[in-house]
Amino acid sequence: MTSQLFSPFELGSLRLENRIVVSPMCQYSAVDGSATDWHLIHLGNMALSGAALLIIEATAVEPQGRITPGCLGLYSDDNEAALRRVLEAVRGQSDMPIGIQIGHAGRKASSEPPWRGGQLIPADQGGWPPVAPSAVPMYPQEPAPLALDVAGIERIRDAFVASARRAAALGLDALELHCAHGYLLHEFLSPLSNHRDDRYGGSLDNRMRLPLEIFEAVRAVWPADRPLGVRISATDWVEGGWDLEQSVAFVHALKARGCDWIDGSSAGVSPQQKITLGPGYQVPFARQIRAETGITTLAVGLITEPQQAEAIIADGDADLIGLGRGLLWEPRWPWHAAATLGGQVRTAKQYWRSLERRATGVFKNMEFGMR
């Protein structure tokens, strides 16, 4: 019986060899937004994993939009040149398609990396003033972010467009807009963080306005033959916040504007969130969004076992599986899944000799002999 997880898939015009996607994972290891040797090692490792698509970590569209001082950016010539160096090296060893996620951290910007506690960095200690839809802090003990005026909104919209142009110039195969995890575009969507009384706040249509404007502006400059998707938080996990019903309405609007896929995550906008954790706990969001809108969906969140991922695809809950922490723990997860499910993956010929006898047939186009 053919594995559905290892069946090909068309993401827009991009042909994927299987349904496994390397989710964007922040590395907090850039210098002034520019990729470093760490990114070369990390992305090179992921590009040899056997997944079908690699999406580069959340990448800021302006310096103030970085989550931490070490976050990747694509807002300057130096940023673009540094990422080009990394991409050229990785592409020299792997033909895996590579995409990128672009976003703005909003009120969660100017923070320490997780291994330093993740707290807001004051301006007098090297931080910068975060911006947001409204002057509402993430945590009560934090100073309020600066509420964006219309000029600030227009600046950020233009920054998304400029970063998308740079991504296109780098030859990246796919682009994802970050509208999740409590960052700026999610902050505009959620009534918990958006208290505006102008055309960008209040009603659902108004709260969706800026994310949709940015999507339209990016779609206009991103090559038509390359897929463009959106990561959303399907729910805030807070009563009275953003929820799945509003997410479905948002996805309908995105699909009408040319969105190719939805990456269905959740949470991140409020410390009051009450998440029900468990294996595949976010898969129902992908399932309902797919069922109600017909859009391609990517399921994420505590998907750890090959049989679990296979069932998600086979049952029609989602079209693609996104793996993040699981691939950090086991970068060869797709190899093992292929061995378990009877699938095949593509990998570097230098690694062919690693094949165990019980996994014969896992590597595609393998011809290997030893004296």
The domain that holds 60 is classified in CATH as 3.20.20.70
pLDDT at 357: 55
pLDDT at 370: 44
Structural domain of 221:
9-359
93 part of a folded domain: yes
pLDDT at 363: 79
pLDDT at 364: 76
Judge residue 156's burial from the number of C-beta atoms within 10 Å of its C-beta, 0-12 exposed, 13-18 middle, 19 or more buried. buried
Which among 134, 145, 179 has a CA at the least distance from the CA of 160?
Answer: 179
Q: Are 229 and 175 in contact (CB under 8 A)?
A: yes
Q: Are 59 and 103 in contact (CB under 8 A)?
A: yes
Count structural domains, the chain: 1
Angle between helices 37-47 and 77-91 (to 10 degrees): 40
Q: Split the chain (371 residues) into runs of 10 and give each run's mean pLDDT.
A: 92 96 98 98 97 98 98 98 98 97 98 95 94 96 96 98 98 98 98 98 98 98 98 98 98 98 97 95 97 98 96 98 96 95 90 71 63 46
Structure tokens at 331: 């970068």
364 part of a folded domain: no
Distance in angstroms (rounded) separating the CA atoms of residues 103 and 179: 7
21 part of a folded domain: yes
370 part of a folded domain: no
Residue with the two structure tokens 């409204």:
134
176 part of a folded domain: yes
126 part of a folded domain: yes
Would you say the C-alpha torsion 222, 225, 226, 230 has a positive or negative sign? positive
Q: Which residues are catalytic?
A: 183
Residue type, position 38, single letter: W
Angstrom distances, CA of residue 121 to CA of 65, 116, 131, 182, 184: 14, 11, 14, 17, 18
At a CB cut-off of 8 Å and minimum separation 6, what does 363 contact? 344, 345, 346, 347, 352, 355
2 part of a folded domain: no
pLDDT at 90: 98
